[in-house]
A = this chain, B = another copy of it.
Amino acid sequence: MKDSTGGQTRIQRTKIATISDAALDVFSANGFRGSTVDEIARAANLSKPNLLYYFPSKEAIHTHLLTALMDTWLDPLRQIDPEGDPLEEVLTYVRRKLAMSRDMPRESRLFANEIIQGAPWMSASLERDLKPLVDEKAAVIAHWMQNGRLKPADPHHLIFSIWSLTQHYADFDVQVRAVLGPEVRDPFPEAEAYLLTLFRRLLRI
């Protein structure tokens, strides 16, 4: 009955996935404190005690989601290649981050909720995982700029601006659509064109 994948049964794997998906819906829409276990259970079509059979507590579900997310979230940044073409590496990073906003808006909002509310669960991970990675990639970018392959600009704030601009289209989706009006079905093509223009003009020698 046990399974090779981390000592989990087939049912456990599917139910945990179902619960995670439902919890992502609820947490990303209401934040941790604004979400209830009943609501997650309802979204997962499970009774509350049944849900708490798979996760020991509401906080455990939340932590599970955040730790799983952190890796996915940093992946595009890790892929920046010091040996690649500087401008193209940055623009590819922008494209990847914007694609994540388009394809994983719930994850983006879960992350945003956590940070806005002071990162009570993730602040340790920010120092331990995020800071070193950003420092490393910022050094790569700074090196490119010193070699005259990119126009100079503060590398850390460059990375901040990429995060900010791309995640905006997921986190503030309601506002973007309200301003653009209903005739704009999909803001992302326009957004990508604008952002690529922006970073080309900022960085291109």
Contact = CB atoms under 8 A, between A and B. Distances in A.
Interface of A: 29-35, 109, 112-113, 115-119, 123, 126-127, 130-131, 134-135, 151, 153-154, 156-161, 163-165, 168, 171-172, 174-176, 178-181, 190-191, 193-195, 197-198, 201-202
A32 B34 contact: yes
B130 A175 contact: yes
Given A123-B174, A165-B164, A30 B33 contact: yes
B164 A116 contact: no
B202 A198 contact: yes
Contacts of A181: 131
Copies of this chain, how many?
2
Contact of A116 (B109, B161, B195): B109
A116 B172 contact: yes
Given A161-B198, A198-B198, A174 B118 contact: yes
A117 B136 CA distance: 34
A72 B57 CA distance: 41
B168 A126 contact: no
A16 to B, nearest CB: 25
A192 to B, nearest CB: 10
B160 A176 contact: yes
11 contacts: A33-B34, A34-B34, A109-B116, A112-B116, A126-B178, A131-B179, A134-B179, A153-B194, A154-B190, A154-B194, A161-B198
Contacts of A201: 151, 201-202
A153 B30 CA distance: 35
